[in-house]
């Protein structure tokens, strides 16, 4: 139950932070209180490492909606442990960093930390869920919490736009994912993820397998900002920098990658999945790298670099997905190496990207700008930030003696040997090698370009908004600690590989041989093709980054932005949806009623077509006499007359007479209790109508509009026929037992001789109580409306 306790503690701390909103002095310590949550989460996940390394999983299952297999099911295995450590570990750094970044005087601190805690809570829920519907709930909670964080400075237009765009794209992707999960449930009969993975062959042989893959990929691609769904991520830079650091390094954008890792044993059984994920990842990688060169904003450069790096990880996930196909040991080892490399690079990316964003945040906070055209020679002002960003950027580019070099070598090795996989021939291998190589060159270029423009130039204080910027140690401490881990991982990579990456690989792959398939990370493999490619990429990138003026490239290289396509599509959708709403919602009650009744009749007709209608000779018709016939004729005549009568008082009286006729029907059917109820209700409503109309201005009804009245008559006849059909079907139906059997011993249970009174007073007592409360509220509302005019006149006189 420890996982449940952890989530409950995070929620409790969130509530505690919310309580500080009412106290000005306590609100200053909201960040310190919120910091407790990631610290406790990190301690918990670190404490679980020995158990997970020994292949012991923590499973929690609290039954909930068992009829449709929706339970509060959680699982902590190697994969969720790796992500949990990243979420909580980076969370500790981000929460502490935020206490230095945000202003205690101008920023609403409790609100920010409530959103950030909800964000962390949602991500931990995503990576530990063992039920698809529960995973979807947390999945959408990440979208909601990210929306709140991106729009934190809601008075800024960029924040509003970025929040709406990210929310729309990720939520639509989440809906596609939900449909995919429902399809999986229809095949397997379970929502439990471990049970779904055990039925992977059954899913793969089903006709819905490809649609499931497409829907799950849409969910993953939108969340992890893969092309062409990447456009929301640069716009999300309107959020405070601590949010950007957290979102890009360890949380939301990694959720899509986690999803594909989790379902690789199922989705990897299709070559369509392998091709889709691989090529979408590589296209995203090169697209993000090129666009990073076109940016002036430091955060925008890092945003597109995140898109590029996520594409790189995606491509390795796609190439390694073939492990699910139970191939030979040689191929399994190749697939396992690719999955291992993806997990290892995921860890590396979280560290250097979090440090990079924190460095940019310090520069922005202290200088008032992120524009590289105004920043130059910052190494003299920010030596510690220069160290952080230099090492982190070089790690991202894959420079030796830093952790990024190791996973980049694995990436190159996977690309160059892709022709050994059954899904890729020489031609496809050359294509993916070209895409990966070019993307890596552009990565090196924008890294050199960014560092050169910001730190290696002539310092000019005149271009800055802040006269004397500085870098307090408390502000730079989180990024410094994360940066120091980069060379540490390079020199002792297997310490992290054996305790974090390998257990995660075991959770993805199938079979007992995964330990022998997992690669042993080494800094030197001799002179081979991956090393040669790395040297070429580094040399070309450094020369191009130093010799070419990329600011002119950014200004002159114009392309049709996909963002513009999204914006135009959104505007068109908004325009047409607004037009449709205005047509439907025209403040005409009659039209609303007509549409509602027609839709209801259509649904009943569809049900009759699917289920069938009883034959006429099977329909039971009760006995009736002359009085029933006469009463029915009166109802018909009055109902038709109401269509043409224009005086309101006459209409109310005739409507009341129809109600009294219904009372007569109840008496003839030997239901005196219902007749009494109908009589009282009809009398009260008639009186209320008359009293209400007497207080309204005497405006005569418009003249009869033949077409409109004809439409009302037609709809009324359709509804009458529909109701009669439903009565016939209800009489004929035998599949559902009558509810009267439930009340056979009503007298013994309630002591009431009237079954209606027993139902209302005993069996449905709470329902009756709440209905009475509703009537009281309605009565108060009516009383308020009737007396509104008098009060307003009194106020005016005063």
Read off the pLDDT of residues 537-586 as tens digits, 9 standing for 90 and up: 999 999 988 887 766 665 555 555 666 777 777 778 778 888 888 877 77
Q: Are residues 318 and 424 in the same domain?
A: yes
State the residue range of the domain holding 753: 741-798
Domains in the chain, number: 3
Regarding whether 551 and 418 lie in a shared domain, the answer is yes
Q: Could you say which of 690, 718, 740 is where a domain stops?
A: 740
pLDDT at 374 over 90: no
Residue 378 lies in a domain: yes
453 and 551 co-located in one domain:
yes
User: Are residues 643 and 756 located together in one domain of the fold?
Assistant: no
- Domain end (from 585, 612, 646): 585
DSSP 59: E
Query: 762 and 660, same structural domain?
Result: no
How large is the average pLDDT for residues 574-599? 82
In a shared domain, residues 607 and 648: yes
Which residues lie closer than 8 Å to 486 by C-beta, 6 or more apart?
Answer: 348, 351, 352, 355, 391, 392, 395, 402, 403, 404
Q: Is the domain of 597 the same as that of 546?
A: no
User: What's the confidence (pLDDT) of residue 747?
Assistant: 79
More confident residue, 8 or 569: 8
The answer to whether residues 409 and 529 belong to one domain is yes
Share of the chain above pLDDT 70, in %: 92
Its sign, for the CA torsion 358, 363, 368, 374, is negative
Neighbours of 111 (CB within 10 A): 16
Whether residues 349 and 456 fall in one domain: yes
Based on the domain organization, do 368 and 511 belong to the same domain? Answer: yes
Alpha-carbon span 217 to 223, nearest angstrom: 10
- Max CA distance (Å), the chain: 106
- pLDDT tens for residues 643-677? 777 777 888 888 889 989 989 988 888 888 788 88
Residues 428, 441 share a domain: yes
- The reply to whether 99 falls in a domain is no
Same domain, 720 and 769: no
Q: Which residues, in sequence order, are bridge partners of residue 72?
A: 62
> Among residues of the chain, what percentage have pLDDT more than 90?
43
pTM metric for this prediction: 0.80
- Banded model confidence at residue 703, pLDDT cuts 50, 70, 90: low
Backbone angles phi, psi at 199, to 5 degrees: -105, 30
Classify strands 70-76 and 58-65 as parallel, antiparallel or unpaired. Answer: antiparallel
CA angle 575/581/585 to nearest 5° reads 150
Q: What gap in Å lies between CA 101 and CA 362, rounded to an integer?
A: 8
Query: Which of 186-200, 358-372, 502-516, 726-740 has the least mean pLDDT?
Result: 726-740
Least confident of 260-264, 268-272, 444-448, 779-783: 779-783
Last residue of a domain, one of 585, 619, 645: 585
Both tokens of 515, joined, read: 């330990």
Residue 366's pLDDT band, with cuts at 50, 70 and 90, is: confident
């Amino acid at each position: 139950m420890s996982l449940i306790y952890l989530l409950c503690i995070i929620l409790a701390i969130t509530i505690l932070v919310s309580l500080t909103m009412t106290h000005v002095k306590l609100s200053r310590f909201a960040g310190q209180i919120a910091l407790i949550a990631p610290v406790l989460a990190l301690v918990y996940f670190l404490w679980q490492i020995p158990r997970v390394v020994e292949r012991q999983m923590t499973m929690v299952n609290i039954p909930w909606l068992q009829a449709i297999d929706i339970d509060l099911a959680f699982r902590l295995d190697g994969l969720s442990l790796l992500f949990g450590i990243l979420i909580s570990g980076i969370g500790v750094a981000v929460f502490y960093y935020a206490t230095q970044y945000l202003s205690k005087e101008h920023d609403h601190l409790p609100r920010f930390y409530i959103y950030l805690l909800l964000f962390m809570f949602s991500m931990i829920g995503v990576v530990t869920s063992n039920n698809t519907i529960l995973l979807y709930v947390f999945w959408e909670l990440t979208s909601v919490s990210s929306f709140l964080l991106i729009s934190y400075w809601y008075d800024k237009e960029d924040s509003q736009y970025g929040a709406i765009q990210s929310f729309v794209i990720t939520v639509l992707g989440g809906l596609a994912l939900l449909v995919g999960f429902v399809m999986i449930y229809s095949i397997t009969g379970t929502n439990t993820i471990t049970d779904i993975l055990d039925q992977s062959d059954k899913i793969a042989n089903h006709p819905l397998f490809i649609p499931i893959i497409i829907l799950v990929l849409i969910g993953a691609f939108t969340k992890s900002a893969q092309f062409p769904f990447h456009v929301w991520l640069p716009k999300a830079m309107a959020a405070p920098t601590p949010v950007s650091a957290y979102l890009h390094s360890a949380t939301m954008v990694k959720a899509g990658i986690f999803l594909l890792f989790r379902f690789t044993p199922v989705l990897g059984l299709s070559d369509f999945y392998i091709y889709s994920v691989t090529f979408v990842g590589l296209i995203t990688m090169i697209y993000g790298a090129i666009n990073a060169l076109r940016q002036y904003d430091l955060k925008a450069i890092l945003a597109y670099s995140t898109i590029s790096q996520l594409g790189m990880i995606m491509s390795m996930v796609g190439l390694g997905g073939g492990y699910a196909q139970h191939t030979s040991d040689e191929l399994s080892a190749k697939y396992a190496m690719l999955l291992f490399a993806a997990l290892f690079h995921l860890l590396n990316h979280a560290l250097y990207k979090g440090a990079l964003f924190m460095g940019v945040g310090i520069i922005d906070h202290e200088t008032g700008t992120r524009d590289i055209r105004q920043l130059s020679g910052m190494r003299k002002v920010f030596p510690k930030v220069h160290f952080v960003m230099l090492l982190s950027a070089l790690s991202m580019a894959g420079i030796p003696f830093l952790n990024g070099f190791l996973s980049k070598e694995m990436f190159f090795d996977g690309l160059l040997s892709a022709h050994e996989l059954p899904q890729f021939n020489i031609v496809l291998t050359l294509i993916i090698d070209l895409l990966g190589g070019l993307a890596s060159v552009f990565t090196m270029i924008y890294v050199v370009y960014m560092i050169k423009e910001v730190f290696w130039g002539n310092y000019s204080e005149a271009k800055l908004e802040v006269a004397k910027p500085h870098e307090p140690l408390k502000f730079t401490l989180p990024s410094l600690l994360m940066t120091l881990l980069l060379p540490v991982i390079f020199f002792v990579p297997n310490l992290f590989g054996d305790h974090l990456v390998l257990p995660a690989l075991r959770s993805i792959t199938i079979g007992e041989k995964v330990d022998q398939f997992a690669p042993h990370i080494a800094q030197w493999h001799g002179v081979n093709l991956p090393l040669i490619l790395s040297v070429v990429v580094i040399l070309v990138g450094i020369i191009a980054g130093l010799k070419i003026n990329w600011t002119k490239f950014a200004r002159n290289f114009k392309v049709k932005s996909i963002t513009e396509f999204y914006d135009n599509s959104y505007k068109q959708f908004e325009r047409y949806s607004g037009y449709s709403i205005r047509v439907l919602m025209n403040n005409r009650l009659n039209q609303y009623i007509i549409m509602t009744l027609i839709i209801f009749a259509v649904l009943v007709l569809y049900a009759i077509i699917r289920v069938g209608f009883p034959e006429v000779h099977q329909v039971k018709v009760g006995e009736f006499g002359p009085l029933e016939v006469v009463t029915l004729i009166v109802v018909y005549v009055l109902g038709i007359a109401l269509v043409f009568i224009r005086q309101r008082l006459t209409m109310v009286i005739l409507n009341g007479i129809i109600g009294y006729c219904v009372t007569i029907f109840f008496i003839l059917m030997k239901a005196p209790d219902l007749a009494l109820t109908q009589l009282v209700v009809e009398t009260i409503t008639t009186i209320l109508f008359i009293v209400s109309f007497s207080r309204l201005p005497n405006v005569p009804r418009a003249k009869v509009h033949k077409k409109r009245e004809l439409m009302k008559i037609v709809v009324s006849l359709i509804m009458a026929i529909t109701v009669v059909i439903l009565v016939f079907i209800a009489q004929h139906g035998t599949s559902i037992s009558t509810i009267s059997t439930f009340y056979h011993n009503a007298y013994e249970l309630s002591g009431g001789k009237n079954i209606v009174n027993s139902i209302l007073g005993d069996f449905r007592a709470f329902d009756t109580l709440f209905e009475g409360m509703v009537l009281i509220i309605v009565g108060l509302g009516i009383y308020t409306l009737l007396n509104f005019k008098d009060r307003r006149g009194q106020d005016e006189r005063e």
